[in-house]
Amino acid sequence: MAGEKITRDMFDQLMVPCYAPAPFIPVRGEGSRVWDQHNKMYIDFAAGVAVSALGHCHPALVEALTRQAKSLWHVSNWLTNEPALILAKQLTESTFADRVFFCNSGAEANEAALKLARRYAHNHGGHEKVEIISAVNAFHGRTLFTVSAGGQPKYSSGFGPKPANITHVPFNDTIALQECFERFGDKICAMILEPVQGESGIFPATEEFLHLARHLTSWHKAALIFDEVQTGVGRTGALYAYQSAGVTPDIMTTAKGLGGGIPIGAMLTTHEFASAFGAGVHGSTYGGNPLVCAVASQVMEIVNTPDFLKGVKARGEKLIAGLNRINERLSCFSEIRSAGLLIGCELDGAWRERVPDAIAAAGKEGLLVLAAGPQTLRLAPPLNIPDEDIAEGLARLEKALLKGFGKK
Ligand SMILES: Cc1ncc(COP(=O)(O)O)c(C=O)c1O
């Protein structure tokens, strides 16, 4: 293998074909910029998929990782470790939660949340309290339980019998939500919601919908679970989106940005709900790994300050202003939806439903962007992206949309 040329073709030869990656291979990153094998530079408006919260190779994260790498990499969950305890303290002190369960991804965090809600209901409400309410077009991960809780059949069909007793209501439809709770009543054990639906196209929940979900779950002694895997860790301009919505869940999941690029997931909850899990009831070999927790702790330290979070909002506004200017010139977006630095541009006219083409055109111009649903370009840059990279990225996006599709 030594000396052999690594090419994009190898992906098609070697990998299970779950993905269709771009024709170039990134090899290096710094801040909001990435370079490919041919030293071409890309402005990163994607941050993985809203993961690299502080950009690539942030010096403080590199320092935290190397320091931890020289002391302790891994212990089993028969032992605890200092970085995990420090991170748990940071997370509980900065949120509603009293207790934390660490795992390795967003799906695993949601799997833990759904299992906890079912177990709590089983202990306190009996064997019929199993109904889970979710939203149409929701996305909660790729395990069989989380694709079933998710509201997009394309991710859950064809895998055999699914976990049952999950009902989906149209997102932001308060009447449908009310009717659903009238139908299932006290048999409901949990409602799971994204405060901003991410994968389906960046759709923020209305305050009315979130408040009603809180009211109905409390009334029926069911858990309200907020999936903040994508919205968490400063992405929307609040540390967690629930904090600006003014609706507090019983269980919250976080992943993506928390590790700044290193895999981690966490489920946060109250003393009361946490009491439904005892030793051995749930677990994960790598959950709370010291290397990951040391990095995540540093991410939290940097992100969780009023100035940093104000900066996220300001950068979001700057990006939106630039996107509006592009739209004035090209009429390429029918709508721009956003929450902080989570932005969805719905492609319009000749561009409509051509998101993969737009991503490819951006790539050619040296810009990384994402899809969200069939019609939406998603932008989720690092939360600390400098002004000059916002400007350069916008210029490259405009060029891509002009060149790729021609001016209307
Ligand atoms: C809201 C939400 N929940 C869960 C997940 C799944 O996270 P992971 O891919 O880390 O399992 C995602 C990933 O995109 C997400 O956006």
Which pLDDT tens digits describe the chain residue by residue (408 residues)?
Answer: 677 899 999 999 999 999 999 999 999 999 999 999 999 999 999 999 999 999 999 999 999 999 999 999 999 999 999 999 999 999 999 999 999 999 999 999 999 999 999 999 999 998 999 999 999 999 999 999 999 999 999 999 999 999 999 999 999 999 999 999 999 999 999 999 999 999 999 999 999 999 999 999 999 999 999 999 999 999 999 999 999 999 999 999 999 999 999 999 999 999 999 999 999 999 999 999 999 999 999 999 999 999 999 999 999 999 999 999 999 999 999 999 999 999 999 999 788 889 999 999 999 999 999 999 989 999 999 999 999 999 999 999 999 999 865 544
**pLDDT at position 3, please?**
76
Best residue among 114, 137, 140, 152 to mutate for probing ligand 1's pocket (most ligand atoms within 8 Å of CB) is 140
Query: Which residue in 13, 20, 22 sits closest to 366, CA to CA?
Result: 22
Give nearest CA residue, ligand 1 atom 8: 106
For residue 406, the CA-to-ligand 1 centroid distance in Å is 35
Name, in order, each residue with C-beta under 8 angstroms of 285's C-beta and a sequence gap of 6 or more.
76, 77
Tokens coding 56: 């690539």
For residue 229, the CA-to-ligand 1 centroid distance in Å is 6
Say which residue the tokens 């932001």 belong to: 172
**pLDDT at position 408, please?**
43
Q: Is the CB of 131 under 6 A from ligand 1?
A: no
Gap between the Cα atoms of 122 and 129, Å rounded: 7
Specify whether the CB–CB gap between 83 and 294 falls below 8 A.
yes
Query: Which DSSP string corresponds to 219-247?
Result: HTT-EEEEE-TTTTTTTTSSSSHHHHHT-
Gap between the Cα atoms of 308 and 305, Å rounded: 5
Sort 334 into a burial class: Cβ within 10 Å, 0-12 / 13-18 / 19+.
middle
**pLDDT at position 353, please?**
86
Gap between the Cα atoms of 7 and 77, Å rounded: 39
H/E stretch holding 336:
strand 333-339
Q: Is the CB of 232 under 6 A from ligand 1?
A: no
- Number of other residues whose CB lies within 10 A of the CB of residue 161: 7
Q: Which letter does DSSP use for residue 349 in this model?
A: G
Q: Is the CB of 107 under 6 A from ligand 1?
A: yes
Q: Is the CB of 377 under 6 A from ligand 1?
A: no
